Amino acid sequence: MKNRWILNVVMLLVIGGLVAFLYLRPQTNTDTLKEYAVSDLKLADFNAIKIEFPALKAVSFEKVDGFWQMTLPYMARADQMSVQRILSIIAATSQDKFAASDLEKYGLNNPELKLQLTGSKGTQEFVFGTHNPVTELQYVAYKDAVYLVQAGYAEAASVQSIELVDKLPLSPFEAKQISGFDFSRLEQWEEIRLNVDIVDGNWKVNAPKAKATQNEMNEWLDFSWKQSPAKSVELYTPDRKTIYPSFEVKLKNGKKIHFDKIQESPELLLGRPDEGILYHFSNDVGFTMLNPPINLK
């Protein structure tokens, strides 16, 4: 009985000590987990973007009819998702906020890049400085404060300008306006002068022996011309001394978009003279693009 009594006393002392420890231990400082919003800006606030680098040409974009267009270093349709990634800095948060009083300390006196966003809020500038050697986060100045943010924000704005060009051969507006294709000048279709057209919502093929189905043609259009971006793009200046096999995409408004077929294997190279862009497609995707499933019998 005496031993059991002693054991009970010891257990009470242990429990009491544990309760006292939990009650008296230092409380976690929740302020250390506080996050600061770098800005309260919205995507809809802007219609122009400019990225400046110390030793490279500036890159700029303008929003036209709801879509971003590259205006520097050349004119081109922009990849919309790439531009959205550049703009994502406006939604960044940081656990660190400093006064913008010592720019040299943060590498902001000689910044990696400057991002200027212009629109209904005027011109807002984000300046990207050096990286913190411990956390590898990057110092960014906006207005009168400096924040530590992920390096991906600067990386999104620092890719080669050609990588910011839209890799789809047709703009979103053009893709919605497709009314047919004239493949008659391609070698494989010269004999039957192939044209495929959408008439009153249905596909029509000018080859009498064709047995095209609406579902197959619709799937071909969606996969080949609306959902399959090129692997890469580059600037294109047509060689006026060379006549390439070519074809045209017809639009509902009567416009025809001309493409030069520069090469078909080992990859398809399509040049679009009006926009000055050369598209690189894998061989399988390229073959499908130029060969609609008309099921000749």
pLDDT for 40-82, tens place per residue?
999 999 999 999 999 899 999 999 999 999 999 999 999 999 9
| Contact status, residue 282 vs residue 267, Cβ threshold 8 Å | yes
- Give dist(CA 73, CA 79) in Å, integer: 15
pLDDT of residue 2: 46
Q: Is the pLDDT of residue 12 over 50?
A: no
Q: Is the pLDDT of residue 200 over 60?
A: yes
Q: Which residues of 11-48 are buried (b: 16+ CB within 10 A; e: fewer)?
A: eeeeeeeeeeeeeeeeeeeeeeeeeeebbebeeebbee
Residue 220 φ then ψ, to 5°: -60, -45
The reply to whether omega before 266 is within 30° of 0 (cis) is yes
Confidence of residue 32 (pLDDT cuts 50, 70, 90): low
Which of 250, 284, 249 is CA-nearest to residue 268? 284
pLDDT of residue 189: 97
Strands (E), the chain: 36-37, 46-52, 59-64, 67-72, 76-77, 93-94, 97-99, 113-119, 122-131, 138-142, 145-149, 178-182, 195-199, 202-205, 232-235, 246-251, 256-263, 267-272, 277-282
Please give the average per-residue pLDDT across 122-134, as a whole number. 97
Which of 80, 89, 106 is CA-nearest to residue 154? 89
Please give the average per-residue pLDDT across 84-108, as a whole number. 95
Based on the number of CB atoms within 10 Å of its own CB, is 146 exposed (0-12), middle (13-18) or buried (19 or more)?
A: buried
| Contact status, residue 105 vs residue 81, Cβ threshold 8 Å | no
| Contact status, residue 181 vs residue 257, Cβ threshold 8 Å | no
141: Cβ contacts below 8 Å, ≥ 6 apart: 100, 103, 106, 108, 126, 127, 129, 147
User: Please, what is the average pLDDT of the chain?
Assistant: 91
pLDDT of residue 11: 45
Please give the average per-residue pLDDT across 162-188, as a whole number. 97
Q: What is the DSSP secondary structure assignment for residue 223, as one 8-state letter?
A: I
User: What does pTM read for this prediction?
Assistant: 0.84
Show the tokens assigned to 30: 């929740």
- Give dist(CA 111, CA 265) in Å, integer: 45
pLDDT of residue 3: 46
Is CATH 2.60.40 the classification given to domain 36-164?
A: yes
Which of 271, 245, 94 is CA-nearest to residue 183? 245
pLDDT of residue 249: 98
Query: Which residue ranges does the chain devote to CATH 2.60.40?
Result: 36-164
